[in-house]
């Protein structure tokens, strides 16, 4: 009897899982049914009780560690193949994944989950017809069973295809079964909004926010809905909320991208692959201490211990500022497994006197670590060179004064130009900032840039992004308050910190920093002169508030009054020593050191290392191992002890970050990776870290980050924000491994990218409107003037009209905003024997380009070409084949600049001008090529190093063999592959040879001279704009060929291209014809991953044989990137206009530009 009841219970449990009913609800329903059929209450209660226990057991085991999923249930070989497909989906290789799923489906045609997974891979492949194909596959599933994934994915497809009513029906079925499904709630709200059911949409957006308060897309949808309801006040209030979370690392978006559409739109994996995080391993956090060396200086040791791989053998070494018997510096070389460190008194960095502390980092970006020694007296910069060892650099200009006692400092890219600068604090004088000029020299800036302080004695400096605006701010802790806060305003400008009044007047002696709550704003932990610990957080009014941290009895520290003499030395460090992803506070003092877990405002001790009071601790440091941080301490007796990681930890992995992969690459971030923010995602947990100094000072180590995995074997992904502002995502980082990650040298900005339909596919053409870049910095407070138009001649043979229409897309695959005012297409039919070019280039000096057509029927070709290195390069410049003349050595310091002047000396087959030329003809130099653009940051860095970019100039050689300047800095091809021209009207007769000179990284593909003249038989008509629509395009995958030649594959999209939107109002998706038909200041504004689809109606080609049809796209608009040095690079506004904005244009902008976006796009 009981067996039968339990079987019934199993069936009821399954029913409850499907209907989302609780066990108590099922039992109540059953009890009412039994009461109707049998009034014996004892029997009713007995049966119901057995069922309750059985269902409770089933519910418990089903929810242990993961939610119930349909098992994949495949043979072992096919299961391995399925796992491969899932991994390919995780790498966004959707084409390969769908191929594997298709193979599996042929073997298992009736397997529902395989069919759903196959459909999901096709949805994300995004080829023509894929939406319909996937929808039909899902309908086959739904004909068999109401699979919730099939319902959800069908809803997404119907919504994406504009079928709103069917989409809403599917979403409602999903919500009946999972009422709190974030994806279903969000996309239901989107559907209701498109159906103009704004009140219902608002209710659903509010529901999403209640379920997931960090879903930024829901706030954005709510803002748009409130605007449609006319509630501008509420919309503005929600914009304020949106701004609070938009750059929070925990915030996320919903979008039609894989992993962004909700869990039900992701392929399912076998249950065995689901990781269940276990309990913390048993055992101690640290092993008992062992002696790993001794410090001969003993109690005279005053300086700060630091850690770095000094000799490049892959092992971390130690540096004692005063480690020898006579108080000079000492290097101790590391060894494997916790053997004793080996003193190296013969090392060049040993035996240096009066050293207070060391700052480690690669200061000249050559791949070798360097060190700056802070001393009582003149400081010293030591540079490490390939095969030459260490050398004291006396010429860098960083020594400072003899009478200063530099007690602390920091290496950091203070001005975000890609190198490390040096900030110093002194015990008896003003602060100093030595700016790295990247030419081997440094310049002092503190006096002129409001950084010197008022001369009060200082203790230490902390660097962090205190206001989450992507640049580095500084706090200087002085011997006595008030302290100093310097907020980075960029371009070498700093302002005193506002809202820090309570902090700067607190008697702080030590300060640490860490982003404890992973919101992008660091928290500060301080210790005052009475030994009291406090936590400082920024409130909603951006004021820094203090909360005193309580410590349980027995874990307090003594009052400290002698810190300046090194007695009772206190140090604060932030590190995860447990491996659970939570930051612990390590506190050292005379009695020893302790590890605390921060629980609200309470510090709970989790480990304590107590030393004998007669042998007090002088200094400690963490030491990175694959098992997490170890701790090394130095005591007054000279004992050097190490606490190795214990068994009571979760697994860790290490991160070593660097600004570039190899020395031959250009650099945007310092080679040491200092100043990088790191956000780690493991399951549903976020962890924040960074490569700033992790302790209160003094000194600066250089060692890998240790990241705890909280029981997982891998990190799902990490998000990096490099010091140059570039975002980067890395996936699948395994435990017990050191992962070296370099900044991906991807192009973050350039200008909009043009694609053309060639009859079969969308083909990359080039970029547009690079001449219209807004806010491009060329020096401190100096910005280039944008030219808001460009005419672009499309390559011959590319365009294949479809049904009488030319189809183009102008897309934004980068982190910038496009303001497109007008587009038009001119169609030229040239008579036989004629060609044309445009008077186009990035103009530098007058006369500027006109964009007008230039016709010619005679070309003068080169017969010899030699570069500045004596290389014959004629074959490289005769044909437009995308193989250009070599440019010579690159200046690795600055993107787009050469070490030496690149000179092309070209001799032509005849005199460029002769008296026999037809009347009215004129010579024009035509060049195909492309340029490697520098960024605003790069331009600023080159300016400060006095390393200008020199645009191409033209010289000519007269009949006597003498050279003369014809055109100084004529200009260059304004972006990716394109053709430019310059008139040679001033050239005298008899000139056969020209010389083109530049130090820009410009790749000349073809060079020749044309004799331009009027062409009366050319036919011109302007194609009518038949369609213009703003759409989500995604991020076509970029490929870089030799000579930095870019290409984009429109059919292959990057699913996770980390980028941000400039904050502001963008154009709503859909038809934008009214914005683009005329140059009228009515703008189509769009951002990363978006584009305008254009279709032009053209006339049939003329019947005359051998005519040539040429297409010229005319564009009017601007673009702006998010480079840290771009003026107003954080916001869409101020919106650029040309002249007065008419009332009609203003109405169009108000009607169309209502889509508010800001923050991360991933």
**Angle, helix 216-228 to helix 198-211, in steps of 10 degrees:** 160
Strands 753-757 and 406-412 come out as unpaired
In angstroms, the Cα distances linking 529 to 239, 503, 564, 698 are 42, 14, 11, 17
What mean pLDDT is predicted for residues 267-274?
A: 52
The answer to whether 700 touches 370, Cβ cutoff 8 Å, is: no
**Angle, helix 148-160 to helix 164-177, in steps of 10 degrees:** 150
What mean pLDDT is predicted for residues 228-233?
A: 89
What percentage of the chain has pLDDT greater than the value 70? 88
CA distance 980 to 973: 6
CA distance 1002 to 214: 45
Q: Minimal CA–CA distance to 486: which of 532, 528, 454? A: 454
Which residues on neighbouring strands pair with residue 905, listed in sequence order?
866, 995
Estimate the share of the chain in helix, then strand, then coil, as percent rounded to the nearest 5: 20, 35, 45
Helix (H) or strand (E) holding 943: helix 936-944
CA distance 1084 to 1119: 11
pLDDT(21) > 90:
no
Q: Minimal CA–CA distance to 1053: which of 89, 92, 84? A: 92
CA distance 536 to 556: 19
pLDDT for residue 62: 35
| pLDDT category of residue 666 using cuts at 50, 70 and 90 | low
613 or 581, which is more confident = 581
Domain segments of the chain as ranges: 76-265, 290-658, 747-834+1015-1161, 837-1013
| pLDDT category of residue 600 using cuts at 50, 70 and 90 | confident
337 or 509, which is more confident = 509
| pLDDT category of residue 564 using cuts at 50, 70 and 90 | very low
What rounded mean pLDDT belongs to the chain? 86
What mean pLDDT is predicted for residues 540-553?
A: 85
pTM: 0.73
What mean pLDDT is predicted for residues 145-161?
A: 93
Q: In this predicted structure, which of 134-138, 422-426, 1049-1053, 1135-1139 has the lowest mean pLDDT?
A: 1049-1053
Read off the DSSP letter of residue 645.
Answer: B
Q: Which residues contact 413 (CB under 8 A, 6 or more apart)?
A: 419, 420, 421, 472, 669, 670, 674, 675, 723
What mean pLDDT is predicted for residues 776-802?
A: 91
Give the tokens for residue 106: 């042929």
pLDDT(733) > 60:
yes
Burial class (CB in 10 A: 0-12, 13-18, 19+), 43: exposed
pLDDT for residue 300: 58
746 or 295, which is more confident = 295
pLDDT in tens, 819-841: 999 999 999 999 999 999 999 99
pLDDT for residue 498: 86
pLDDT in tens, 452-465: 888 789 999 999 99
| pLDDT category of residue 436 using cuts at 50, 70 and 90 | very high
pLDDT in tens, 914-937: 888 888 899 999 999 999 988 888
Class level of CATH domain 837-1013: mainly beta
| pLDDT category of residue 296 using cuts at 50, 70 and 90 | low
The answer to whether 885 touches 893, Cβ cutoff 8 Å, is: no
**Angle, helix 41-62 to helix 23-37, in steps of 10 degrees:** 160
What mean pLDDT is predicted for residues 645-666?
A: 83
How many other C-beta atoms are found inside a 10 Å radius of the C-beta of residue 758? 15
Helix (H) or strand (E) holding 189: helix 182-194
pLDDT(31) > 60:
no
The answer to whether 654 touches 706, Cβ cutoff 8 Å, is: yes
pLDDT(995) > 80:
yes
Superfamily of domain 76-265: Tetratricopeptide repeat domain (1.25.40.10)
Cα 714 → chain centroid? 21
pLDDT(397) > 70:
yes
pLDDT(38) > 80:
no
- Ramachandran area for residue 941 (φ above 0: left; ψ -120 to 50: alpha; else beta): alpha
CA distance 968 to 952: 7
Strands (E), 878-938: 897-908, 922-931
pLDDT for residue 247: 65
In angstroms, the Cα distances linking 975 to 118, 752, 766, 1037 are 40, 10, 8, 18
CA distance 163 to 147: 20
CA distance 525 to 512: 5
pLDDT for residue 667: 64
pLDDT(972) > 90:
yes
Give the domain 290-658 fold: Methylamine Dehydrogenase; Chain H (2.130.10)
Q: In this predicted structure, which of 33-37, 192-196, 1072-1076 has the lowest mean pLDDT?
A: 33-37
Peptide bond into 906 cis (omega under 30): no
The answer to whether 894 touches 905, Cβ cutoff 8 Å, is: no
pLDDT for residue 56: 39
pLDDT(47) > 90:
no
Question: Residues of 116-150 as b/e, b for ≥16 C-beta within 10 angstroms?
Answer: bbbbbbbbbbbeeebbeebbebbeebeeeeebbbb
pLDDT for residue 1055: 57
In angstroms, the Cα distances linking 777 to 781, 785, 889, 939, 1126 are 7, 10, 25, 7, 6
Q: In this predicted structure, which of 230-239, 274-283, 408-417, 1012-1021 has the lowest mean pLDDT?
A: 274-283
| pLDDT category of residue 1043 using cuts at 50, 70 and 90 | very high
| pLDDT category of residue 892 using cuts at 50, 70 and 90 | confident
Q: Which residues contact 1016 (CB under 8 A, 6 or more apart)?
A: none
pLDDT(663) > 80:
no
CA distance 782 to 805: 44
User: How would you list the strands of the sheet with 370-375, edge to edge?
Assistant: 355-361, 370-375, 380-385, 389-393
CA distance 497 to 698: 23
Q: Which residues contact 221 (CB under 8 A, 6 or more apart)?
A: 186, 189, 190, 193, 201, 205, 208
pLDDT(60) > 70:
no
What mean pLDDT is predicted for residues 1099-1106?
A: 83
pLDDT in tens, 329-348: 999 999 877 667 888 999 99
pLDDT(1110) > 60:
yes
CA distance 322 to 356: 8
| pLDDT category of residue 448 using cuts at 50, 70 and 90 | confident
pLDDT(37) > 90:
no
């Amino acid at each position: 009897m009981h067996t039968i009841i339990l079987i019934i219970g199993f069936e009821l449990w399954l029913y409850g899982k499907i209907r989302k009913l609780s066990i108590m609800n099922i039992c109540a329903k059953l009890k009412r049914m039994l009461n109707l059929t049998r009034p014996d209450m004892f029997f009713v209660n007995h049966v119901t009780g057995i069922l309750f226990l059985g269902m409770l057991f089933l519910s418990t085991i089903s929810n242990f560690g993961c939610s119930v999923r349909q098992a994949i249930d495949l043979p072992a070989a096919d299961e391995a193949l399925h796992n491969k497909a899932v991994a390919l989906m995780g790498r966004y290789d959707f084409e390969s994944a769908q191929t594997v799923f298709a193979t599996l489906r042929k073997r298992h045609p009736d397997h529902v989950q395989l069919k759903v997974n196959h459909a999901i891979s096709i949805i994300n492949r995004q080829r023509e017809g894929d939406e319909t194909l996937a929808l039909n596959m899902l309908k086959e599933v739904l004909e068999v069973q109401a699979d919730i994934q099939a319902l959800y994915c069908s809803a997404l497809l119907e919504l994406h295809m504009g079928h709103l009513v069917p989409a809403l029906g599917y979403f409602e079925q999903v919500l009946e079964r999972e009422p709190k499904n974030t994806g279903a709630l969000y996309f239901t709200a989107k559907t209701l909004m498109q159906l103009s059911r704004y009140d219902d949409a608002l209710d659903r957006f509010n529901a999403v926010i209640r379920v997931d308060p960090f879903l930024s897309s829901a706030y954005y949808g709510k803002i748009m809905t409130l605007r449609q309801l006319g509630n501008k006040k509420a919309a503005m209030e929600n914009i304020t909320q949106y701004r609070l979370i938009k750059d929070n690392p925990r915030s996320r978006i919903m979008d039609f991208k894989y992993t962004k559409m909700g869990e039900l739109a992701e392929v399912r994996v076998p249950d065995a692959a689901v990781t269940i995080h276990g309990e913390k391993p048993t055992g101690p956090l640290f092993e008992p201490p062992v002696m790993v060396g001794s410090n001969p200086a003993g109690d005279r040791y005053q300086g700060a211990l630091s850690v770095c791989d000094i000799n490049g053998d892959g092992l971390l070494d130690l540096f004692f500022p005063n480690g020898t018997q006579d108080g000079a510096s000492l290097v101790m070389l590391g060894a494997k497994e916790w053997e004793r460190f080996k003193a190296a008194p013969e090392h060049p960095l040993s035996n240096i006197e009066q050293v207070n502390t060391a700052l480690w980092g690669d200061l000249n970006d050559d791949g070798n670590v360097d060190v700056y020694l802070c001393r009582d007296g003149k400081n010293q910069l030591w540079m490490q060179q390939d095969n030459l060892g260490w050398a004291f650099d006396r010429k860098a200009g960083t020594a400072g004064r003899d009478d200063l006692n530099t007690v602390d400092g920091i290496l950091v890219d203070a001005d975000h130009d890609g190198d490390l600068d040096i900030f110093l604090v002194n015990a008896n004088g003003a602060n100093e900032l030595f700016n790295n000029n990247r030419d081997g020299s440094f310049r002092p800036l503190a006096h002129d840039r409001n950084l010197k302080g008022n001369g009060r004695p200082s203790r230490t400096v902390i660097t962090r992004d205190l206001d989450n605006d992507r640049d580095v701010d500084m706090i200087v802790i002085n011997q006595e308050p008030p302290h100093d806060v310097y907020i980075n305003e960029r371009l070498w400008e700093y302002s005193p910190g506002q809202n820090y009044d309570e902090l700067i007047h607190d008697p702080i002696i030590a300060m640490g920093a860490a982003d404890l709550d992973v919101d992008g704003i660091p928290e500060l932990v301080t210790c005052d002169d009475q030994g009291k610990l406090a936590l400082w957080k920024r409130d909603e009014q951006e004021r820094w508030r203090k909360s005193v941290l309580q410590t349980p009895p027995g874990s307090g520290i003594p009052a400290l009054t002698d810190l300046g003499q090194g007695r009772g030395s206190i140090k604060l460090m932030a590190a995860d020593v447990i491996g659970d992803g939570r930051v612990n506070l390590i506190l050292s003092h005379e009695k020893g050191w302790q590890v605390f877990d921060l629980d609200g405002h309470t510090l709970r001790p989790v480990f304590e290392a107590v030393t004998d009071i007669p042998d007090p601790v002088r200094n400690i440091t963490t030491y990175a191992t694959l098992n997490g941080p170890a701790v090394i301490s130095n005591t007054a007796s000279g004992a050097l002890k190490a606490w190795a990681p214990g068994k009571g930890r979760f697994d860790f992995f290490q991160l070593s970050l660097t600004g570039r992969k190899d020395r031959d690459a250009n650099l945007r971030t310092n080679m040491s990776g200092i100043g990088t923010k790191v956000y780690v995602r493991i399951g549903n947990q976020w962890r924040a870290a960074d490569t700033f100094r992790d302790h209160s000072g003094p000194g600066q180590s250089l060692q890998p980050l240790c990241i705890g995995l909280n029981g997982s074997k891998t990190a799902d992904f990490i998000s990096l924000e490099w010091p140059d502002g570039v975002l980067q995502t890395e996936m699948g980082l395994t435990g017990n491994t050191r992962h070296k990650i370099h900044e991906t040298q991807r192009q973050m900005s350039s200008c909009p990218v043009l694609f053309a339909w060639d009859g079969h596919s969308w083909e990359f053409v080039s970029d547009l409107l690079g001449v219209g870049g807004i806010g491009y910095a060329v020096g401190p407070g100096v910005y280039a003037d944008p030219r808001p138009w460009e005419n672009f001649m499309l390559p011959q043979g590319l365009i294949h009209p479809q049904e009488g229409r030319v189809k183009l897309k102008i897309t934004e695959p980068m982190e910038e905003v496009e303001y497109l005012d007008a587009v038009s297409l001119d169609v030229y039919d040239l008579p036989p024997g004629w060609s044309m070019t445009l008077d186009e280039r990035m103009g530098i000096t007058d006369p500027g380009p006109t964009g007008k057509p230039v016709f010619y029927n005679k070309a003068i070709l080169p017969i010899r070409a030699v570069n500045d290195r004596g290389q014959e390069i004629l074959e490289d410049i005769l044909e437009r084949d995308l193989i250009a003349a070599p440019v010579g050595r690159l200046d690795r310091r600055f993107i787009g600049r050469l070490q030496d002047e690149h000179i092309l000396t070209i001799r032509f087959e005849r005199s460029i001008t002769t008296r026999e030329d037809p009347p009215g003809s004129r010579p024009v130099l035509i060049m195909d090529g492309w340029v490697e653009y520098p960024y605003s940051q790069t331009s600023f860095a080159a300016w400060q190093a006095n390393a200008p970019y020199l645009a191409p100039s033209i010289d000519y050689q007269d009949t006597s063999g003498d050279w003369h300047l014809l055109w100084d800095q004529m200009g260059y091809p304004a972006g990716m592959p394109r053709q430019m021209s310059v008139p040679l009207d001033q050239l005298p007769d008899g000139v056969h040879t020209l010389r083109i000179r530049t130090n820009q990284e410009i790749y000349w593909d073809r060079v020749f001279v044309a004799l331009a003249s009027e062409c009366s038989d050319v036919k011109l008509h302007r194609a009518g704009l038949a369609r213009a629509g703003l759409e989500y395009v995604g991020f076509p995958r970029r490929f870089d060929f030799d000579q930095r030649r870019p290409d984009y594959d429109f059919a292959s999209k990057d699913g996770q291209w980390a980028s941000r939107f400039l904050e502001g109002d963008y154009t709503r998706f859909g038809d934008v014809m009214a914005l683009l038909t005329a140059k009228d200041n009515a703008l189509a504004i769009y951002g990363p991953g978006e584009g305008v689809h254009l279709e032009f109606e053209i006339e049939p080609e003329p019947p005359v044989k051998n005519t040539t049809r040429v297409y010229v796209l005319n564009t009017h608009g601007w673009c702006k990137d998010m480079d840290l040095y771009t003026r107003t690079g954080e916001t869409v506004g101020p919106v650029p206009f040309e002249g007065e904005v008419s009332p009609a244009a203003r109405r169009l902008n108000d009607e169309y530009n209502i889509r508010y976006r800001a923050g991360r796009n991933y």
